[in-house]
Amino acid sequence: MKVGSLLAAVIAITILAGLVIPTCKKAEPTLPSFSASEIIDNSGERISKVNSFHFEITHVGGGTPLVKGLEMNEAIGDIVKPGKIKTSISATIGLMLVEVDVITIGKTTYMTNPLNKEWELLPNEFSAISLFDPDTSIAAILKDMTDLTKLNDEKIDGISCYHIKGKVPCESLRPITLSSIEGVKIDTEVWIDKEEFLLHQIRLKGKITDTEKPGIIREIKLSNFDQEVEIELPR
């Protein structure tokens, strides 16, 4: 075989080999496998270190009683530790739909009057922070969940999350509703970030207080962790 023909054959074989042999791809790192209880414990520890977050609360089939006859249907706002919250609330009072704003710093809470929209100081025994405080209400949900089951992973706002269901005693949810039924457990689902163990969503199914309607569902979404937020009392 001539040198030119041999060189051409070598080049052809090299090209074919490049087409046939698969290109090695770098294997994607796999996350460690955690049990449902380990995920819940890790999330509880992680949320205790969060200094601020944004929240959204929705209800289906009822609402959460607040103050002055108001029943909360939806709320959106921010929390800053320690003890600061500002939120806008869609609520009902009787058959009337109203919108109110609430600001709490420490034990001082102001709420806009649903009729004239002016700020009013609320009694000391009412503190909106108790509804959303990660150190009490949210921590209690994670701490007291039992009968844990891992469901299929899901995405919340594009974030891959563990999806876990369980049950929480009504007494543990008293900071959210300010009262509770004794000896009843609520079906609970949580969605927890697979990388940082941040809690992104909670779903509570069932009545927590005697006055609520059966089948009520509360959903709480958390986001914008540790972002800077300014919260000041109204002047």
pLDDT, mean of residues 7-26: 45
46 pLDDT band, cuts 50/70/90, is very high
**CA pair distance 86, 127, nearest whole angstrom:** 11
Residue 153's Cβ-side half-sphere holds a number of Cα atoms within 13 Å equal to 14
Is residue 191 a part of any domain in this protein? yes
Is residue 170 situated within a structural domain?
yes
* pLDDT tens digit sequence for 49-99: 999 999 999 999 888 877 778 888 999 999 998 889 999 999 998 889 999
- Domain membership of residue 9 (yes or no) is no
CATH code of 157's domain: 2.50.20.20
142 lies in some domain: yes
Domain presence at residue 151: yes
In total, how many domains does the chain have? 1
pLDDT(101) > 50: yes
Domain, as residue range, for 212 = 36-223
Give me the residue label for tokens 């739909």.
Answer: 97
Residue 234 lies in a domain: no
Alpha-carbon distance of 227 to 80, in angstroms, equals: 9
